[in-house]
Structures are given as C-alpha cells and as structure tokens.
A and B are shown apart, each in its own frame.
Chain A
Amino acid sequence: MCLGIESTAHTFGASLVDDQDRIVTNVNSTYRPPVGVGIHPRKASEHLASVADSIVKTALSTRDGSSIDPDVIAYAAGPGLGPCLRIGATVARALSSFLKRPLVPVHHGVAHLDIAMSITKAHDPLAVLVSGGHTSILVHVGKRWRVYGETQDITLGNLLDMFAREAKLPSPGGLSVSREATKGENLIKLPYTVKGNDVAYSGLLTAAATSLRRQGNLADLCFSLQETAFSMLSEAVERSLVQTRRSEVLLAGGVAASQRLRQMIGLVAEDHGASFHPVPIEYSGDCGAQIACSGRLAYESGITVSTSDSFVTPRWRMDEVDVPWIPRT
C-alpha cells in the first residue's frame, strides 16, 4: 500500500493505492478563492493545513473503521506553490519518520500522466497534459518524458481561470467558461497562435478580456475563447502525433475534464489511427490518488529520499525527472 499526499496548489489530498495499482481510498479538499480573485498562496496553504489531518486520517481508514498502515509514503515535491508544497511535505515527513516507512518524492505533472496511464491502460503514448500548471505535449524517450510542444507563456488552465476571473465567473474557471460557451454560437475572431508544436495563449487572453470590457457578449466570447484555445492545442497535438508516430494519445490534467477538449483531441487521435486515452473526469483534477499511483511506481524503481534530504521545489520541469517505469506493460 502506498499513501500519496498531494498539496501543490489548491488541493490537499491523501490516497491509498495497492500493489495491483488499484485506488483503495482517495480523499481530497480543495480551496476555492472568492469570485473574481485568484489563489493566494498563503490563504491556500492555510486551508491545506487546516484540513490535512482529517484528510489523511480518512484516507487511512477502512470502511469498518480500522486503520491501514501504509508501506510507502509518497508526497508531491513540486512543481507548485511553495507554501502549499511545504504543508504536504511536512505531513509526509512526519508520517514517514513516525511509521518508519520510506519516503518517495513525486513530480506532480508526472503523476497526472501516471494515474491517467494506469486507469486508461496506455502503454507508451503521446501525452497531452493540460492543467493550471502545465500545457505540454510529451513523449517518453530513454528514461524521461521529453517535451515535444508546450505553451510559451501561460497554460490553458491559466487562460480559462484568468478569463473567468475577469468575467466574474466562479472557480474552477474551465467549468464556468464551458457552461457559458454552450449558450454561445457566434465565433468572434481572436488571435490564433501556433508556433511549430508550441502554443502561446497570452495574446488570446488579452484580446478576449479587452472584448469583454467593451461589453462583448459573454456566451459568444466563452464559446470563441474555448474554440480558439482548444483548436490551437489540437493542432499542436496533431503535428506532434504525425512527427512522433505514436499509436496512443493520452489526455490528462485538470482541463482534461472539458468535454469539448476531449472531443477535439479524440478526433485528432481517430483521424491518425491512434487510440484515445482520456483520464476519467474524477481523476483529472489534482488528487491524492495521482501521487499514490506515481509514488508506488517510483518506489518500485528504487526511488526514495531520506527525511533529512527530502525537498520541495516550486520549479521542476517534467523533462528533469527520471521516469524509468515507462513504457508501461
């Protein structure tokens, strides 16, 4: 049994994954900022600290009320907000030394891909990771994920969240924007920026926000923002798929919950004869289960850290992490 602890940004999560890769428990609590405001790192970390003990306790309890003793403790070491990362790391270190169990540092983005691959049975896919922290197209070469394409400025999650904030729509922004988008039908021309396999979203955000301030129709703007932003990513994914010739496309991360994005990336995969592996919506957002899943795989590959050498790192690229457990069998 591997206990995974997530606390990179707005979510504190704890989860148990067993040796057969099954998710046994998965308990999460997410900090929601007031409408029109972003995540304040200190306020988010205060929320995480206040819920940590009850979340861990619940995740370690069986249905009949007895407590499970995990074999391994995994924690999200980065990337993320410093104050938030330190909460999860502190809890993990304490559990590790108290229970005398090995400690495993996990990369949050790698973990998004690991849980998606586990559940959807992907082997060696072209991975599309879309969240508040990442917008990357990756393939596994050698021991690491290699970035084939990525955003050159803000992420897709940032784009949707920041636009939602401007429009005074509630968090999570992606969900609010997609709800409004279903009511829109007129496509407004917005900047469409694809550079090779990369995308850039800041110009799109500025144009959409400016149009909103000029009393543009909110539903049409949400519709156009989504269509433009997702088309850009889909095009970059299609290019990467043709170049890498992978036969599977994985879609993971919080924005993978978007039905329209799932539809578009699914069509790209289908068009090139690749199978499509979208993460189930309940495991798309940040959760303890992703850390437990990735931590178990890392532990089996011999990756552990002593309490005194354990670390958190707010900046940590996907292509700097050894991931020897891929391709998955």
Chain B
Amino acid sequence: MDTSNLASTLLHRGAEADLSLATVGPWRVVVKRRVKKDYRNPSLDEQIRHDRTISEASQIHEAKTGGARVPSLVGMDLENNAIVMTHIAGTVARECLDELSAKEARKLLRSVGAQIGLLHTAGIVHGDLTTSNVIVSPSGAPFIVDFGMSHRSVEPEDRGVDLHLLQRSIVASHSQDSSSMMNATIRGYERTAGKKIATSTWRKAREIARRGRYFAIR
C-alpha cells in the first residue's frame, strides 16, 4: 500500500523510525516509517532500512501466529520503508512501572515474561526488549511492540540477549527492586516456554551479562 498520501499525525519519534497515527478502513493504525539517517553512508543506510522493514513485517506476522499479544500487520510500503499495523492503546511500561506497587509490578512482569515465552517458542527473538517496548493496555495486559531488531532464532544465546536487555533496562531505568522483577519475569516465561527453555535462557542471559567488559570472573 502507498502510505505517502495517508493523512496522519506524528505520534512518536523513535531512534530509527517515525510513528504516526492514521485511519485505514475500520482500523486505527500506526505507520512506522524508517527515516533516513544523515550520519550513515547513504547506500548503507538504504540497505539497512529496506532489510529491516521486510524483516519486521514478517516477524510481527509470525509472532501473531504464535499467539503473542502484538500489533496486527495491516500492510507495508517498501517504497517508503514503512509498515502499517494496528494501534495499541495504553501506557508504555517504562512510564508506569515505577508507579505500581511492588506486587502489581511483579504481576505485570510475570505477564511480560509469559509473552516473551510465547515469542521464543514461536521461534522469534525480539532483539530490543526494554521496558520502552512494552505497552500496557487499560486492562493491564502487556503488548510487546517494536520488532525492528527481531529475527528468527531458537538459539539460547539469542533468547538470552532478550532477557539480558530487559534486565538491564530495569536496572538502568527503574527504582523497583530489579532482582524480584526479574524473578517474576522468569516465572511468567517458564509458564509459556517450559522449564527446560527457561533454565537454559536465563543461564545464557547471566553469562551474557558477565561477558561485558572487565567483569571479574565470578
């Protein structure tokens, strides 16, 4: 579909894409357009934007098929490096997590963990799992969004990166006790991914954290 003439209002300027709100048929949609980056070499820039647009659309579709709460794909516009998907109403977890009680926060993260488990068992890793990429609907159900860096993989390494990134975003941006938050996430994850996958993924996540520079060998 052609998104260049679609009437839309800018919703959010992300790091790599602009998100705008529009209406297509009966749907309230979000148009995610990957914008040109002046810092990048033009041919490298075009190639990255093109490849990621195609990859993102296909991962969203796969995730939906796997039963995860994610937006639905409405269409795509490769001329403009854009994808069109259903709008998810709610608040970003990054904004609301600190306002929840410890108990509510654990409940939310258990549910987030269950969603990650569904993605992983569908053979998808998110690749950029932070509290900014979780939208909590008014009913309290978390949706995972932004599949811009996701790819197909069943490797514990790649799955571990997801949990590692989520943990780091909790440690870096939230005052909530990060270890109990992660425990809740893993319990939820285990519910949908099973004990075996949960154990290997979490072991890998801790190994990846230690791989960072200058960690003393523990």
| Partner-B contacts on A (CB < 8 A) | 79, 133-136, 139, 141, 146-148, 150-153, 155, 187, 189, 192, 194-198, 227-228, 231, 234-235, 238-239, 241-244, 263-265, 267-268, 271, 315-318
Contacts and interface: CB of A to CB of B under 8 A. Distances in A.
Interface SS of chain B: helix, strand, loop or mixed?
loop
Interface string B18-44: 000000000000000000011111011
B161 A195 contact: yes
16 contacts: A79-B213, A135-B213, A136-B213, A147-B172, A148-B168, A196-B127, A197-B165, A231-B44, A234-B39, A243-B15, A243-B169, A264-B39, A271-B38, A317-B214, A317-B215, A318-B214
Contact of B15 (A135, A139, A238): A238
A266 to B, nearest CB: 8
A323 to B, nearest CB: 15
Given A196-B127, A263-B39, A264-B39, A316 B214 contact: yes
B213 A150 contact: yes
B129 interface: yes
Interface of B: 13-16, 37-41, 43-44, 47-48, 94, 127-130, 132, 149, 161, 165, 168-169, 171-173, 208, 211-217
A239 B168 CA distance: 14
Nearest to B171: A146
Contacts of B94: 243
Given A196-B149, A196-B161, 19 more contacts: A79-B214, A133-B214, A147-B172, A147-B212, A150-B212, A152-B212, A155-B213, A196-B165, A197-B165, A198-B161, A227-B44, A234-B37, A235-B37, A239-B128, A241-B15, A242-B15, A243-B15, A267-B39, A317-B215
A81 B132 CA distance: 38
Contacts of B14: 242
Contacts of B38: 267, 271
Contacts of B173: 243-244
Contacts of A189: 47
Contacts of B172: 139, 141, 146-148
Contacts of A194: 149
Contacts of A242: 13-15
Nearest to B47: A189
Contacts of B214: 79, 133, 315-318
A298 to B, nearest CB: 19
Given A187-B44, A267-B38, A134 B129 contact: no
A235 B173 CA distance: 20
Nearest to A150: B212
B15 A231 contact: no
Contacts of B127: 195-196
B130 A231 contact: no
B163 to A, nearest CB: 11
B215 A192 contact: no
A316 B132 CA distance: 30
A155 B213 CA distance: 9
Nearest to B215: A317
A231 B39 contact: yes
A324 to B, nearest CB: 18
Nearest to A133: B213
A271 B13 CA distance: 11
A146 B214 CA distance: 14
Nearest to A195: B161
Contacts of B16: 235, 238-239
Given A136-B213, A234-B39, A196 B44 contact: no
A234 B16 CA distance: 11
Given A192-B48, A242-B15, A317-B215, A147 B168 contact: yes
B212 A268 contact: no
